[in-house]
Structure 1
Amino acid sequence: MASKTLLGALIEKAGWEFPDFHRELRNAGNELARTLKDPRFRNLDMSEATFRRWVAGTVSRPTSVFSQTIQHMFDRTIAELLAPPREGDPTAVSRQDLERELAMTAREASDHAASVASAFLSDLSIEQVQEDVRQLARTYNSRPPFDVLREARQLRTNAEGLLDRTHIPEQKQQLLIAIGQTTALLALAAFGLGSLGEANRLARSAGMYAEVTRFTPLAAFAAGTLGMLAYWEGRPGEAIRFIRQAQSFPGVGTAGQARIAAIEARAYGHLGDQRRAAAAVERFLDVDTFERDGLHDEVAGEFLHGPERLARSHGTTFVLLRDGSRAREHTRRVLELQASLPAGQRISRIDAEARTDLAAALILGGEIEEAAEVLKPIAVLAPDRRANGLVERVVHVGRLLTTEPVRTSPVAAALREALEEYTRVAAPRQLGGTAARLVIE
């Protein structure tokens, strides 16, 4: 049956039912609301009964808002649309159908462009996130772990908020890398506070961000961190598995590879494998060429294991192997490197950890008085900055003081008591975290 109005004919030609027409009416109204800045056109609504009257031509004229909207939809005056279709003009409906399709396409393009524009994210916002990550990494060792934890959590939240505001793949990639880097720093902060379970979870999360973004330096760093956490928990065999995984990633610079080798040496030290531990230590002692990557070198800070941190780790390895001579060699090297730096660049935690390992090496040789002298400067490190790695080293020294031949020395007794108080007020103990299995046993 022929439609009684041109409006009805156009709707019939389009194959629309009432829900279809209602949707298109709303879209057209919302477009006019934006164009005319008139909220009356926003989210137009009508009943199906009214729609039927329009199509049947039993209404004289809709309200002004609906009239303008329908005219905008079909590019016809409301009088034409509510009048009968002209007979003998078979092109009328087809022409209007084409115009309607063009209008609909234009509206859809406009709506999509507006949606994309609303999700636009300035490159400056991403650059600020990247700079915040660099600053956090580079100030990590000069701040208490709990302060790092709070700032890293806020930084991660901010970056996640920006991630929801962009549809641009490159921007998403950059933000996900920044979130992954922040998560890696959170893992280290959790470790510093003595929460190994959460540190493991965060390190795995950092590895997943690295996998999604194909950012291999972060993947290697996360796997190396998991290896470190494994031997802290008394699982050196599993640590080796994580180290092999870390070594499998391409695109990791010399500094990143040296960190992995230092973790490998520590794991073999726990296993009592002196040959493999020494080989891992020596692998990066004399390197002629240096390759850089976008994490260990460009972000740097806590991600960069420079000579003093490598020497500190090697000293620990030889303490594990009860090789006092080589332990003293590497720990004294740390103190020399620290002393050569400007005061503002020295890392007090690294200095304290190296001194504690040096004291352990000296006690192994029966040099109790010299050990007590070496430990004196660690007292200046505030309790909230005595992270888990230092605390457990101090605990180990305390245990060595109960062994022969130093056990009966008055110096040993006084030193042991002082060290017990030193660890009692340290951050990991004050926060109620359970002590990790000793890194040195």
Structure 2
Amino acid sequence: MSYPTLLAALAAARHWTARDAVAEFGRTAERLNESYRPSERQWERWCAGEIKVGPRPLCCRVLEKMFGRPVAELFAPPPLIAQDSPWPDGYSAGTYWSRARFVPEPGSPMDEEIAVVADDSARFARRVRRVDEHALEQLDADVRQLAYDYLRRPPYFTFRRVADLRTEVFAMLDERHPLEQERRLYQVAGQLCGLLAHASADLGHPHEADTHARTALVCAELTDDNPLRTYVRWVQSNVAYWQGDYRKAAAIAHTGRDYAASGTALLRLASQEARALAATRDGSEFGRAIGDARDARDSASEADEPGVFRFSPGKAAYYASEAYFAMGSPGNIRQAQQQAQESIQLLANDPDDQGAELLAAARLDLVAAHLAGDDLDGAAEHLAPILSMSPEHRTMPVVQRVWKIGKQLTARPAAPAAVELRERIALFAAHPAATPEVLPALE
């Protein structure tokens, strides 16, 4: 049989009834010096995935202690796992699958299975022949698909597939190949390391992101790949930005512009530099940078940049919105609101740019602008769909943006609506795609 959540599958593997599970929950809670236990009906709702928001933090701690897994995994559809792992009857085992491979969206388990079977076919084609033009074309096609998947699937889904393919390419590079084939393999390896850097940053692992980024830059140097250089420098700048080192973020983006000669590369780095400088409140430098970003947006050329390797006008608009909001004057706040509205419209109408995280970021800029204009009702309206995002899409940039909204709301301690929103934000941040420990307390 199949199970709607990993929680249900693990409970079934232990042959628990709802009463058994609640009793074990109570015993675990007592070991944590807590006395709460859910009802049997509540347990059944958890197992069925019939919840609109996650359990209270106390319950999350108990569940994670019971099963040794993050709550985000327990409430996700169950993975298929390796042959040496015990599992309930009805689940096929296969060495290809690992505990990190989860169904990307509840209700669509075939999507990942189809993708994984295609991966197996591609792997077989690469293994049974020497590296030739067909194998290289397959690698290029794989990278393109992964770049599109990154915008549409949860980061952990893409991360494992990118890592598996990168391991294969590294193994190919251990052998001798003609110079042109070797160059193309290094190019693919660099693109995959760039994607791993991006995913690691989104999942809240900046050190690992920097490690992958440095490897990607080595590959870019070996192949003189300017688009890869600019993409990776943007990732490194983002890592510094979300760690609060805005000067470093601006400097990295600025130096990366030396390689931004085509496509949307200049738009990416100019937009990043502008929002980093805005965070420093350096008005003179911000004016120059936002002007460069505006010019780059007007002149961005069409190029063959698949998925996340393309920096869309919609994304540039929400970067501009975030930058204007950081500058803070009434005129800048109006600009921030206008740019956020434009970003939402552009992203919604762009078939190649449908990422949930991108739309969430644009909506959060609009929320921030409404709050700055003392419009709590408008902010709540735009915040509602974001707080309903499933945990696997709650990347660290999204969670940190939501957390900033929560800090803005602390300025309204007596407003009942603000109190409710802060409580919902705290619950949202407790179940990110990344670990919540990197966030400060929301006072």
TM range (shorter): 0.5 to 0.7
How do 1:240-251 and structure 2 match up within 5 A?
240-249=250-259
Decide whether aligned partners of structure 1 residues 244 and 339 sit closer, same or farther in structure 2, where only a CA change above 3 A counts: closer
Counterpart residue identity of residue 434, structure 1: V
Q: What TM-score comes out, normalization by structure 1 length?
A: 0.66
Q: Is 1:218 the equivalent of 2:205?
A: no
Deviations 1:30-83 (A, max 9, x none): xxxxxxxxxxxxxxxxxxxxxxxxxxxxxxxxxxxxxxxxxxxxxxxxxxxxxx
* 2: CA distance, partners of 1:318 / 1:289: 21
Structure 1 equivalent of residue 338 of structure 2: 329
Give 1 or 2 for the bigger CA radius of gyration.
Answer: 1
| Residues 268, 276 of structure 1: 8 Å contact kept | yes
Counterpart residue identity of residue 322, structure 2: T
Structure 1 equivalent of residue 390 of structure 2: 382
Structure 1 equivalent of residue 423 of structure 2: 417
| Residues 233, 436 of structure 1: 8 Å contact kept | no
* 2: CA distance, partners of 1:288 / 1:195: 34
Decide whether aligned partners of structure 1 residues 436 and 172 sit closer, same or farther in structure 2, where only a CA change above 3 A counts: farther
How do 1:269-280 and structure 2 match up within 5 A?
269-280=278-289
Deviations 1:300-341 (A, max 9, x none): 211111111111111111222223211111111111113334
* 1: CA distance, partners of 2:194 / 2:182: 18
Deviations 1:86-114 (A, max 9, x none): xxxxxxxxxxxxxxxxxxxxxxxxxxxxx
Structure 1 equivalent of residue 313 of structure 2: 307
Deviations 1:347-380 (A, max 9, x none): 2211111111211111111111110001112144
Structure 1 equivalent of residue 408 of structure 2: 400
Deviations 1:111-154 (A, max 9, x none): xxxxxxx9942211111111111110111021111112111100
**Equivalent residue of 1:427, what SS?**
coil
State the shift of 1:284 in Å. Answer: 4.1
| Residues 254, 269 of structure 2: 8 Å contact kept | no
State the shift of 1:282 in Å. Answer: 3.0
Structure 2 equivalent of residue 353 of structure 1: 361
Decide whether aligned partners of structure 1 residues 290 and 268 sit closer, same or farther in structure 2, where only a CA change above 3 A counts: closer
**Equivalent residue of 1:381, what SS?**
coil
Gaps of 5+ in 1: 1-117
| Residues 121, 166 of structure 1: 8 Å contact kept | no
Decide whether aligned partners of structure 1 residues 242 and 341 sit closer, same or farther in structure 2, where only a CA change above 3 A counts: closer
State the shift of 1:381 in Å. Answer: 2.2
Structure 2 equivalent of residue 37 of structure 1: none
* 2: CA distance, partners of 1:412 / 1:436: 19
| Residues 250, 274 of structure 2: 8 Å contact kept | no
- Paired residues, number: 311
Q: Percent identity?
A: 30
Counterpart among 409, 434, 437 of residue 438 in structure 2: 434
* 2: CA distance, partners of 1:357 / 1:339: 15
The two structures, once aligned, show a CA RMSD in angstroms of 2.3
| Residues 119, 167 of structure 1: 8 Å contact kept | no
Structure 1 equivalent of residue 49 of structure 2: none
Structure 1 equivalent of residue 209 of structure 2: 199
| Residues 152, 356 of structure 2: 8 Å contact kept | yes
Structure 1 equivalent of residue 53 of structure 2: none
